[in-house]
Structures are given as C-alpha cells and as structure tokens.
Amino acid sequence: MNNQQETVRLTLRSVSQLPDRRQFLHWAATGAIMIALGGCAYEVAPEVDQRRAENEKLPDGTTRLPPGQHLIRALKPMGGEEGDPSPSGFRLKVHGEVKTELELTFADLLALPQTEQTCDVHCVTKWSVFDSRWTGVRLAELAERAGVKSTAKHVVFEAAHGYTANVRLEEALRPTVLIAHRLNGEPLAPANGPPARSLVPHLYFWKSAKWITGIRFQAADEPGYWETRGYHNHADPWKEERYG
C-alpha cells in the first residue's frame, strides 16, 4: 500500500473546468436539432457538418469519420448495468501480470498526473461524436506504477456487474487511453459510468468500460462481454471491425 501513499504526493496538474462556451454557442448558431429516440434526447449534427466530417482527413490520410458512421453532437446514453457512482465507494484494482498490485481510491486517482484531451468517439451502433473533452489518468501511468511484467500482452477492463472489455497492451498504452472521470469539464453524468470509466478513443466505444473497477494485465487474450457475444475482438472503426 506504500504505492498508494506515493501517488498521493504527486502534484495535480491544474485543468480547466470551465464549460466550452464557444462550442456551445457555435452549436446553437448552426441549429443543432434535438431528437427523442428510445426515451433519450440527443442531438443530431446538421447535414452540413456531416458532409464536412466525411471529407475531413486525419494526418495519416484516413477519414476523420470512420466508414458507416454519422456524426451526432453528444454521447448517446447506451445503458449498461450501473455501478456505484459515488467517489467514496470507488476502488480501482490494478492487477494481474504486475510486480505491485495497486488499489486506488478516487482521491488516489485524482492525485495522479491528470491529462486533458479532446478526441472523437465512435459507437458500433454507427454514431460518432467529435471533440469530446476528457480528463483523467493515462493507463500508461498506472501500468508504470504497477510495474507491468514483460509477460503481459493484453489488458482487460473490469467494470460493475462483470462487464469486461479486452484491449491489446500496446494499444492500451497509447497516450490517448485514459481512466477518465470528467467529460467536457464536468464529472461524468450518471449515464456515462461515474465516477470513472476507461476511454479508448481509437476503438469502438464498447471498449471504454463505464463504472470501472479494475485493470487486469494478462499474458493471454480474454474476450470481454461484447466480444463473447458476436462483436469483433479488436474493434477498429476504420476497418469496420464490428462483428467477430
């Protein structure tokens, strides 16, 4: 447990918690429409943005919007069996192929170096959201603190009620993979898996486990909740790896 004490001493990088007013005003001006579907209200991007998104290219030349996806304004609540949203009840176990097992409280998580990043997310049900702003701790940071063994090749995110999602270790260690606790400057809303979830923006969104309880490093791959129910083991949106 001396690892935990060590984490508390780290300085918390200051992050902006102001809502993005400019973006909000831009959306209002471009006339985003609210549509009710399945009891949930969410915003659909105006047609002009969809066309612009389809033409936009990433630095590597691929399209910013993956094939078969359409742009919406905000994360659509996709459900799932809710865990305990309270920060006081939060425990994050970092275990498996590690030299030092960790168990972090929410305060421990906040005491680690914080990353703020703006990225796109892509759900296999074909919606994408551009420029969502997340705050959290890099998985690579936790991996380093736990001392991941060279035998580890895969990561399994563990969440409330047995939900799991597997990601290849080399991909999980990308700087964009976070244990996130804020979205667009606010603590995660009830639907988005508070108090913290994983965020793997380059894979379909089911790999981003809400109400996270553990990060397990493994030598062998272990297909997770959706991967054992017909979904693709890898889930690259640009390759349309939807079904296994």
Ligand X SMILES: Nc1nc2c(c(=O)[nH]1)N[C@H]1C(S)=C(S)[C@@H](COP(=O)(O)O)O[C@H]1N2
Which of ligand X, Mo ion, none does residue 130 bind to, with CB < 5 to 8 Å depending on kind?
A: none
CB of 75 to ligand X, least distance (A): 4
Tell me how far apart the alpha carbons of residues 75 and 113 are, in angstroms, rounded to a whole number.
26
Which of ligand X, Mo ion, none does residue 166 bind to, with CB < 5 to 8 Å depending on kind?
A: none
Biggest distance spanned by C-alpha atoms of the chain = 54
130 binds Mo ion (CB under 5 A): no
What does DSSP assign to residue 139?
A: H
Stretch 176-195 residues interacting with ligand X (CB under 6 A): 191-193
Token couple for 226: 């959706």
CB of 168 to Mo ion, least distance (A): 19
Cβ partners under 8 Å of residue 204, min gap 6: 122, 123, 124, 231, 232, 235, 236, 237, 241, 242
163 binds Mo ion (CB under 5 A): no
Give yes or no for a cis peptide into 195 (omega within 30° of 0): yes
Q: Which is nearer to ligand X, 141 or 227 (CB)?
A: 227
**Edge-to-edge strand list for the sheet holding 164-168:** 102-105, 91-96, 212-218, 154-159, 164-168
Q: Is residue 129 within 8 Å of residue 120, measured between CB atoms?
A: yes
Which of Mo ion, ligand X, none does residue 134 bind to, with CB < 5 to 8 Å depending on kind?
A: none
Token couple for 242: 């939807």
Among 206, 211, 225, 231, binds Mo ion (CB under 5 A): 206
Tell me how far apart the alpha carbons of residues 236 and 56 are, in angstroms, rounded to a whole number.
18
Backbone phi, psi, residue 144, to 5°: -65, -40
CB of 16 to ligand X, least distance (A): 22
Among 169, 208, 217, 232, binds ligand X (CB under 6 A): 208
205 binds ligand X (CB under 6 A): yes
Which of Mo ion, ligand X, none does residue 80 bind to, with CB < 5 to 8 Å depending on kind?
A: ligand X
Cβ neighbour number for residue 197 with a 10 Å cutoff? 23
* Span from 24-32, 73-81, 138-146, 234-242 in contact with ligand X (CB under 6 A): 73-81
- With CB atoms as reference, the residue minimizing the distance to Mo ion is 206
CB of 195 to ligand X, least distance (A): 13
Where does this chain bind ligand X (CB under 6 A)?
Answer: 75-78, 80, 123, 159-160, 163, 191-193, 205-206, 208-211
Interface ranges with Mo ion (CB under 5 A): 123, 206
